[in-house]
Amino acid sequence: MHGFPHHIVQRGHNRQPVFVERRDFDYYLANLQEWKQVYELEMFSFCLMTNHVHLVVQANDNLTSIPQLMKRRAGRQTCFVSALEKCSGSFCKK
């Protein structure tokens, strides 16, 4: 898994919007920067769409770094949006 760039696509639940306002994009990018440093990943490119994300990253020798990055990112973004929208669960609508 390490040594090669990986194209990762992550979509919102039921393809719902993930990013609605500028602050949503900013929060995602700030956390992406933090976690890529923690897991020592090389980030080649990213594209944030309203309902999904494309990332091209390369892992170091830690084979779990990419899955851990995505787990942390998704968890933080979910908590962020849920707090803003004052909701939780799979039926949380924006």
CATH of the domain at 24: 3.30.70.1290
This prediction has a pTM of 0.75
Residue 88 lies in a domain: no
Q: How confident is the model at residue 16, as a pLDDT?
A: 84
Tell whether 15 is covered by a domain.
yes
Domain count, the chain: 1
Calculate mean pLDDT across residues 61-67.
82
| Domain presence at residue 10 | yes
In a domain, 67, yes or no: yes
Whether pLDDT at 94 is above 50: no
Please provide the average confidence, as pLDDT, over all residues in the chain. Answer: 82
Q: How many CB atoms lie within 10 A of CB 66?
A: 20
* Cα distances (angstroms) measured from residue 52 to each of 9, 11, 48, 61: 7, 4, 6, 27
Residue 43 has pLDDT above 60, yes or no: yes
The residue segments making up the domain with residue 18 are: 5-83
Domain membership of residue 90 (yes or no) is: no
